[in-house]
Amino acid sequence: MDTEVRIVSVDETNVEKEGFFCYKSKPKTEGYQRKLAWLKERFTEGMQIKILYDGKRSFAFIEYIPGEYAWRAVHADDYMFIHCIWTVGSGKKKGYATRLLDLCIEEARAANMKGVAMVTSSGVWLVDKKILLKNGFEVVDHAPPKFDLLVKKFKDAPNPHFPVNWEERAAQFGDGLTVIRSDQCPYIPDAATAVQEYAGENGLPFQVVELRSAKEAQETSPSPYGLFSIVYNRQLLAYHYLLKKDFDKFIARLA
């Protein structure tokens, strides 16, 4: 038995010590500090973070919260909602993600929830749906450009679902470049800076819209990802980090 494997639950009492897996080597950065402050508010809403260690190294983590407080553009009340699940390096293909999923599922059952749900993407910045399908989840909804909503249900109940007014959501931000952002991901400050620099270099109007609550993310975000979006002239340009050299290519796709 692999007795070196252990799973640590992170909460308000130990988050300063344990961190939250991402950016663990950069605790003084803006992204880390903003995520830390964000998390401290989320713990009161039922946020759970589990970090899996093998020996002294951390190889995987999962972050989940009751669906009412999910920072994704979804409707998932009474479901446990997974924000992120990730395995890195030599920790891959060892069943670590399944262990973490099992913990989440067990907690959701104990809380008498309808099931567990998660948004996935065949693009970037979100896990692919394969790991969830292997663990008994099923696809129940889709959204552009490459998003799926998956669920593992415990009882007969309505499925969680995406909204459908994506074009209307993007249009509300007007012309120029807009970043819609939250503090859930520590990589977001760098991603937002790249957009601002591109806008400045190309003489484009630029604005940042801060998402302050899960409800705002659910009702305002122009992409299912919820936490970060780039809108250009009333259309969703991307929901992930863009290098400055990539902007022209992505903008050309909207023409």
Model confidence pLDDT, tens digit, residues 176-189: 999 999 999 999 99
Neighbour tally for 12: CB within 10 Å? 13
What is the per-residue pLDDT for 24? 86
CA distances from 123 to 116, 144, 146, 220, 227 (A): 22, 11, 6, 21, 15
Mean pLDDT of 95-115: 97
State residue 135's pLDDT score. Answer: 95
Distance CA 197, CA 213 (A): 27
Name the packing angle between helices 188-201 and 30-42 (round to 10°): 130
Q: Shortest CA distance to 162 belongs to which of 101, 120, 114, 125?
A: 120
What is the pLDDT confidence band of residue 2, given thresholds at 50, 70 and 90? low
pLDDT at 122: 85
DSSP code, position 97: H
Question: Does the structure show a pLDDT above 70 at 233?
Answer: yes
Stretch (H or E) spanning 231: strand 228-232
Q: Has residue 1 got a pLDDT over 90? A: no
Closest by CA position to 217, among listed 163, 142, 167: 163
Q: Mean pLDDT across the stretch 143-172?
A: 96
Q: Is the pLDDT of residue 163 over 80?
A: yes
Percent over 90 (pLDDT), the chain: 90
Q: What confidence tier does 3 reach under pLDDT thresholds 50, 70, 90?
A: low
Report helix, strand or coil for 189.
helix
- Side-chain half-sphere exposure of 24, counting CA atoms within 13 A: 13
The radius of gyration of the chain's CA atoms, rounded to the nearest angstrom, is 18
User: Please, which residues have CB within 8 angstroms of residue 234's CB and are 6 or more apart in sequence?
Assistant: 170, 171, 173, 174, 175
Model confidence band, residue 162 (pLDDT cutoffs 50, 70, 90): very high
Q: Please give the domain boundaries of the chain with CATH numbers for all domains.
A: 5-153 (3.40.630.30), 166-254 (3.40.30.10)
What residues contact 181, with CB distance under 8 A and at least 6 apart?
188, 192, 208, 209, 210, 211, 227, 228, 229
Maximum Cα interatomic distance, the chain, rounded to a whole number of Å: 60
**Hey, what are 255's tokens?**
């023409």
Average pLDDT in the 11-39 region?
Answer: 94
Mean pLDDT for the chain? 95
Under the banding of pLDDT at 50, 70 and 90, the label for residue 239 is very high
Residue 246 pLDDT greater than 60, yes or no = yes
> Is residue 63 within 8 Å of 22, Cβ to Cβ?
no
